[in-house]
Amino acid sequence: MRRRRYEYYDEYEVEDPYEDYDRYYSRRHPVRRLVIVLCIIVLVLGIAFVAIPRQPVQETEGLGPRHLGTSSILLAGTDAGGARTDTILLLTIDLLEHRMSLTSIPRDTYVDAGYSVAKINSACVYGGGGAAGMEELMDQAAIILGYRPDGYVMLDFSTFERIVDHMGGVWFLVPMDMYYVDPTQDLYIDLYSGYQELDGEKAIQVMRFRSGYAMADLERVNVQRDFLEAALKQWLKPFRLIRWPGLLSILKEETVTDLTPREFFWIAEGVLLCHNDLEENTVPGEARTIRGVSYYVAAAPQTVRSAILSPYD
């Protein structure tokens, strides 16, 4: 009976109850489809517009024209309190010449800004932390460099740890046995020397260690640059490029920055194209004791600019 009943219904053509409605609506509202098409076009163009890289540029008066395709970004890593900048690096990318540099600004660099401790790593906390603190750090960096960097990125140690873990770690030659404990900073360092794979937690230990170096902070900045160079070379391997969208997302969401998504894309493009010609250096200067306190005194701005990769001569 069921079979015959199904056959019975198969003999009849079932009418679509919405057929007349669609036919009517299409005739009466031809604009509807046009609007849908236009919305799709606008959406696609919007996505394309956001994805187009834009060079970060901040002009400094009195230095003449900039080098085309060259921008500098100030990178700052904060301590456990999130204010004092233990690590200050200047990333400069010359997209036309396919050159890139990492220039260290030692945290003990002397600044004449009225701080209780006249060192550049006090700038961020003096400015109030966060974006306001980074603007103060940018002001002091501009005095040392002779020009204001084109943008900044500040991240704390927990974000740095997350980035290293997200990118799959870093193989790095730890230059010496590292051991240091400071509960007041929640700092515990215990690493053996040698070539090894570092996860985020161990990478932070390498970046923060300085007590065992003969030249303390000056040697630490060299190790920091070496680590970042090793990280870039490994993270730019083809099998790790798939992790980069997540990296850019972390940088945008978990850092204090004045860069737009399009400017982050420009930096990412520059790193991809220029990483094979990476220069490492430190702002030229000398260690000096002033009123019983050890400082690093930077050279004159013109000397600094002539010694590093810069958007200006």
Q: What is the 3-state secondary structure (H, E, C) of the chain?
A: CHHHHHHHHHCCCCCCCCHHHHHHHHHHCHHHHHHHHHHHHHHHHHHHHHHCCCCCCCCCCCCCCCCCCEEEEEEEEECCCCCCEEEEEEEEEECCCCEEEEEECCCCEECCCCCCCCEHHHHHHHCCCHHHHHHHHHHHHHHHHCCCCCCEEEECHHHHHHHHHHCCCEEEEECCCEEEEEHHHCEEEEECCEEEEECHHHHHHHHHCCCCCCCCHHHHHHHHHHHHHHHHHHHCCHHHHHHHHHHHHHHHHHCEECCCHHHHHHHHHHHHHHCCCEEEEECCEEEEEECCEEEEEECCHHHHHHHCCCCCC
Q: 143 and 243: one domain?
A: yes
Q: 34 and 153: one domain?
A: no
Q: 151 and 15: one domain?
A: no
Q: 41 and 181: one domain?
A: no
Q: Is 146 a domain residue?
A: yes
pLDDT at 241: 86
Mean pLDDT split into 10-residue runs, the chain, 313 residues: 42 47 52 53 45 85 88 88 80 94 93 91 90 95 95 92 95 94 85 96 91 75 89 90 89 90 91 88 93 93 94 88
pLDDT at 52: 82
Q: Is 227 a domain residue?
A: yes
Q: 250 and 149: one domain?
A: yes
Q: 272 and 129: one domain?
A: yes
Q: Is 9 a domain residue?
A: yes
Q: Which domain holds residue 299?
A: 70-307
Q: 75 and 7: one domain?
A: no
Pairwise CA distance, residues 257 & 153, whole Å: 5
Q: 101 and 23: one domain?
A: no
Angle subtended at Cα 73 by Cα 55 and Cα 106, rounded to the nearest 5 degrees: 165
Q: 290 and 154: one domain?
A: yes
Q: 46 and 82: one domain?
A: no
Q: 44 and 149: one domain?
A: no
Q: Is 77 a domain residue?
A: yes
Q: How many domains does the chain have?
A: 2
Q: Is 299 a domain residue?
A: yes
pLDDT at 51: 57
Q: Is 61 a domain residue?
A: no
pLDDT at 263: 93
Q: 74 and 21: one domain?
A: no
Q: Is 62 a domain residue?
A: no
β-strands 278-282, 99-104 pairing: parallel
The CATH number for 185's domain is 3.40.630.190
The answer to whether 123 and 85 are in contact (CB under 8 A) is: yes
The answer to whether 171 and 163 are in contact (CB under 8 A) is: no
pLDDT at 50: 47
